[in-house]
Amino acid sequence: NAGVTQTPKFQVLKTGQSMTLQCAQDMNHEYMSWYRQDPGMGLRLIHYSVGAGITDQGEVPNGYNVSRSTTEDFPLRLLSAAPSQTSVYFCASSYSTGVPGELFFGEGSRLTVL
């Protein structure tokens, strides 16, 4: 079982470059989300989706775009990378938006912006 797959695992960007972090799940989950985790801190929600074609902003959405064209995929786009976006990014999914809503996390994508 693949679960939640994130690519790439590591990426180095220069300020101003753009890139897409990929997230795919094979569990037919409705809900998908992106978090970022800065050193020594908890996770902060960037964007989330409750189904194909539906996305919404989390706590820290600025500088990021998302789309959800299929149930399986939820890519996160950085339009113009900034050093403040250096972080570890986690994608998570769950079967439903209600209870219990257990989240399954990917292994993370470590991004460094120079």
| Residue 61 identity | P
Q: Which range of residues in 11-19, 34-42, 67-75, 77-85 is near another protein by CB under 8 A?
A: 34-42
Return the structure tokens found at 84: 């403040």
Residue with Cβ nearer another protein (80 or 96): 96
Question: Mask 69-88, x = binds another protein (CB under 8 A)?
Answer: --------------------
Q: Which of 69, 6, 2 is nearest to 34 (CA)?
A: 6
Does 39 engage in binding with another protein (CB under 8 A)?
no
31-49 in b/e form (b: 16+ CB < 10 A) is bbbbbbeeeeeebebbbbb
Residue with Cβ nearer another protein (17 or 73): 73
Residue 62 carries which DSSP code? T
User: Which residues lie near another protein (CB under 8 A)?
Assistant: 4, 31, 33, 35, 41-45, 48, 50, 58-59, 90, 92, 94, 97-108
